[in-house]
Copies of this chain bind each other. A is one copy, B any other.
Amino acid sequence: MLKFYRSLLISEFLRRSTMTADITALRDAANRLRISAIEMTAVAKSGHPSSSTSAAEIISVLFFHEMKYEVSAPKAAYSDRFILSKGHACPILYAAWEEAGLLSHEQVLSLRKIDSDIEGHPTPRLNFIDVATGSLGQGLSVAAGMAWVGKYKDKASYRVYALLGDGETAEGSIWEAASFASTYKLDNLVTIVDVNRLGQSQETQLGHNVETYAARFKAFGHNAIIVDGHDVEAIIKAFDTAKITKGVPTTLIMKTFKGAGIDGVENLDNWHGKPVPLEKIDGIKKKLTSLQKGVLPIAAPIKDTPEFDLDLGNIKISPPSYKLGDKVATRAAYGTALAKLGDASPHVIGLDGDTKNSTFSDKLLAKYPERFIECFIAEQNLVGVGIGVGCRGRAIPFCSTFAAFFTRAADQLRMAAISFANVKCVGSHAGISIGEDGPSQMALEDLSLFRSVANSIVLYPTDAVSTERAAELAANIHGIVFIRTGRPALPVIYKNDEIFSIGKAKVVRKSNKDCVVLVGAGVTLYECLKAADELETSGVHACVVDLFSIKPIDQHTLIAEATRCGGKVVTVEDHYQSGGIGEAVSSALSDSPNIRVRSIFVKDIPRSGSPDGLLDLFGISATHIVKAVQNFN
């Protein structure tokens, strides 16, 4: 009986919602968005009108009926969020913000010009964009990260909407995110798929087979609803259904036509990314513009989101407490640091990809289960959710997995840079020193990967003390930070009060007889120290530098020590040559005449074996360092 009344109430709610909407005004608005998108791409002579106009009704309903936000403060913490995962359709998004009054027509007509932030794909240079999109398949993970924060951390009523293209659902990252959203019951997240049938170069895999899209999302735990994506009333009803759907995320499968509303383009192939000739605009305007121009109220947001500052720069962990010589794996020290960061700030969130008992991020989970997100074996989504968690200044996300598996998220990290994201990645099991598991588990390209991310910071702590400080430094700076941790337990070499800084190396061994500089980090620093001991027995004195900050690199210390020691530098790394420490150091010293650099690195594809055996077999042990110094004439 209760069930009956509930369904009565729901249907009444749905009826009223449609009644209160001015359907005609929303239809007209959709056409105005359409015209603007066509015009701005025509003026720019490039861009995506056809992918824009298929979503005109969806965007019209979203921005002028469904979403609650303030035009004057598009990034307000309490506003509903919109992520355009199909970023190439941004003209329709720019048109919506024009219609809402945030952008002028002149501004949207500056599309794709070098001095305009109205770019070819959206970036957070614009005040209404949270994350850059344009590499397809990434928006849903980010949206899910935002929705997780909304539901579990902010516990606020703002909702998150992600608009996907149909073609991009071929990206596996979409299914990682879809599964995540249902696992975490993100009923504040609405996924919208613009099924316009046509990809860039041909029809998509599923064409207009909306039933299969629905079946896929249903199987992934979503409430999937098929909707006519050009029918304003149907779209409104679908969003209303989403709103009353509890415990599962809703996905709206919108059947649309690419180029909808443009004669000679609509539903035809070969119109991807091609503007309509400028001279056709008048005809299109005539056809699409209605005399009736409705009023388009924008729903006010509910201001129930807590206000706070992340207080970056002031998050202090309790000092490390190790004894010199204690054997502690840096991955274990990272776990300790993460739990301490949890003590220090209520905004630190840990994320992992089912490796938490290896990366030791489970130390945060044990202490603050509500601030830990298990992302399972899906690293693209792990990083994507992390970006979403961090993108609005509402949390400090620390993502961890084996360093090797962050390569899975290389494109997400590339896009994170364009998003000016705040996300920390901590990769364990670096290099051949992991031993028996073999090459598939060994990160030997991770320094290269993270160094190549624009404006990133890359830290490679050697011992437990420096690892704790690396984590603290990462938490306190806005940006993308990678920390590389290792598997083996190795001695603590720094005192607990040692100070570490981004961009600063440590000279850990020095004498006034030094005639060579050995540069290492992590496991190879110990090999450098061993080599220095051995060299000393034959009267050769070596300075040893712990690089610590791989990016930015401490060019000053490197030049100073190299010059002091006669210009000979030997770098040693548990990493391949390309993009690693040797190249970073060589590059930093490339303009210094009379400084020569020789680099030792993992020289071939490794194999299973004992850590020490592998260090020796692949050429990065103390023995090889000694030889390199002896041969350096």
With a CB–CB cut-off of 8 A, which chain B residues contact A167? 354, 376-377
With a CB–CB cut-off of 8 A, which chain B residues contact A414? 404, 407, 445
- A339-368 residues with Cβ-Cβ distance < 8 A to B are 352, 354-358, 362
Q: Which of A379, A444, A448 has the most CB of B within 10 A?
A: A448
Can you name 14 A-B pairs with beta carbons within 8 Å?
A113-B609, A119-B438, A120-B436, A121-B439, A135-B405, A135-B440, A167-B377, A172-B173, A204-B376, A215-B215, A445-B453, A449-B452, A578-B584, A590-B597
Q: Are B596 and A590 in contact (CB under 8 A)?
A: yes
Question: Known pairs A172-B378, A199-B354. 8 more at Cβ < 8 A?
Answer: A170-B376, A170-B378, A172-B176, A567-B593, A578-B584, A587-B597, A589-B590, A591-B598
With a CB–CB cut-off of 8 A, which chain B residues contact A567? 593
Q: Are B376 and A441 in contact (CB under 8 A)?
A: no
**Segment with Cβ contacts to B, from A49-57, A216-224, A307-315, A530-538:** A216-224
**Shortest Cβ distance from A434 into B: residue:** B120
A68 to chain B, nearest CB (A): 28
Q: Are B377 and A455 in contact (CB under 8 A)?
A: no
Q: Which of B113, B171, B381, B590 contacts A598 (CB 8 A)?
A: B590
Q: Which of B173, B221, B451 contacts A579 (CB 8 A)?
A: B451
Q: Taking the complex as formed, is A415 at the interface, i.e. its CB lies under 8 A from any CB of chain B? A: yes
Q: Taking the complex as formed, is A104 at the interface, i.e. its CB lies under 8 A from any CB of chain B? A: no
A140 to chain B, nearest CB (A): 11
Q: Tell whether A134 pairs with B438 under 8 Å between CB atoms, given A112-B608, A172-B175.
A: yes
A375 to chain B, nearest CB (A): 8
Q: Are A355 and B200 in contact (CB under 8 A)?
A: yes
Q: Are B121 and A437 in contact (CB under 8 A)?
A: yes
What per-residue 1/0 map shows which CB atoms of A476-515 lie under 8 Å from chain B? 0000000000000000000000000000000000000000
A75 to chain B, nearest CB (A): 19
Q: Taking the complex as formed, is A183 at the interface, i.e. its CB lies under 8 A from any CB of chain B? A: yes
**Shortest Cβ distance from A182 into B: residue:** B205
Q: Are A418 and B444 in contact (CB under 8 A)?
A: no
Alpha-carbon gap, A117 to B438, bound state (A): 10
- A235-282 residues with Cβ-Cβ distance < 8 A to B are none
A386 to chain B, nearest CB (A): 16
Q: Taking the complex as formed, is A193 at the interface, i.e. its CB lies under 8 A from any CB of chain B? A: no
**Segment with Cβ contacts to B, from A94-102, A318-326, A610-618:** A610-618
Q: Are A135 and B404 in contact (CB under 8 A)?
A: yes
What per-residue 1/0 map shows which CB atoms of A390-434 lie under 8 Å from chain B? 000000000000001101101100110110000000000000000
With a CB–CB cut-off of 8 A, which chain B residues contact A613? 114
- A38-89 residues with Cβ-Cβ distance < 8 A to B are 44, 46-47, 87
Q: Are A205 and B179 in contact (CB under 8 A)?
A: yes
**Shortest Cβ distance from A588 into B: residue:** B586
Alpha-carbon gap, A427 to B288, bound state (A): 40
Q: Are B440 and A354 in contact (CB under 8 A)?
A: no
Q: Are A449 and B590 in contact (CB under 8 A)?
A: no
Q: Tell whether A440 pairs with B357 under 8 Å between CB atoms, given A377-B137, A449-B410, A594-B593.
A: no
Alpha-carbon gap, A451 to B404, bound state (A): 16
Q: Are B452 and A440 in contact (CB under 8 A)?
A: no
Alpha-carbon gap, A627 to B155, bound state (A): 55
Q: Taking the complex as formed, is A230 at the interface, i.e. its CB lies under 8 A from any CB of chain B? A: no
Alpha-carbon gap, A593 to B520, bound state (A): 22
Q: Taking the complex as formed, is A227 at the interface, i.e. its CB lies under 8 A from any CB of chain B? A: no
**Shortest Cβ distance from A408 into B: residue:** B411
**Segment with Cβ contacts to B, from A6-14, A19-27, A599-607:** A599-607
A627 to chain B, nearest CB (A): 15
Alpha-carbon gap, A246 to B200, bound state (A): 31
What's the number of copies of this chain in the assembled complex? 2
Q: Are B377 and A440 in contact (CB under 8 A)?
A: no
Alpha-carbon gap, A218 to B211, bound state (A): 13
Q: Are A593 and B591 in contact (CB under 8 A)?
A: no
A132 to chain B, nearest CB (A): 6
With a CB–CB cut-off of 8 A, which chain B residues contact A411? 379, 404-405, 407-408, 410
Alpha-carbon gap, A143 to B451, bound state (A): 33
Q: Are B579 and A578 in contact (CB under 8 A)?
A: yes
Q: Taking the complex as formed, is A202 at the interface, i.e. its CB lies under 8 A from any CB of chain B? A: yes
With a CB–CB cut-off of 8 A, which chain B residues contact A598? 590-591
Q: Taking the complex as formed, is A107 at the interface, i.e. its CB lies under 8 A from any CB of chain B? A: no
Alpha-carbon gap, A355 to B88, bound state (A): 14
With a CB–CB cut-off of 8 A, which chain B residues contact A525? none
Alpha-carbon gap, A381 to B44, bound state (A): 34
Q: Are A599 and B578 in contact (CB under 8 A)?
A: no
Q: Are A587 and B596 in contact (CB under 8 A)?
A: no
Q: Taking the complex as formed, is A466 at the interface, i.e. its CB lies under 8 A from any CB of chain B? A: no
With a CB–CB cut-off of 8 A, which chain B residues contact A46? 436-437
Q: Taking the complex as formed, is A630 at the interface, i.e. its CB lies under 8 A from any CB of chain B? A: no
A553 to chain B, nearest CB (A): 10
Q: Which of B179, B205, B617 contacts A376 (CB 8 A)?
A: B205
Q: Taking the complex as formed, is A133 at the interface, i.e. its CB lies under 8 A from any CB of chain B? A: yes
A37 to chain B, nearest CB (A): 16
A305 to chain B, nearest CB (A): 29
A573 to chain B, nearest CB (A): 12
Q: Which of B133, B202, B452 contacts A448 (CB 8 A)?
A: B452
Q: Taking the complex as formed, is A374 at the interface, i.e. its CB lies under 8 A from any CB of chain B? A: yes
Q: Are B205 and A610 in contact (CB under 8 A)?
A: no
Q: Which of A112, A170, A381 has the most CB of B within 10 A?
A: A170
A536 to chain B, nearest CB (A): 24
With a CB–CB cut-off of 8 A, which chain B residues contact A28? none
Q: Taking the complex as formed, is A336 at the interface, i.e. its CB lies under 8 A from any CB of chain B? A: no
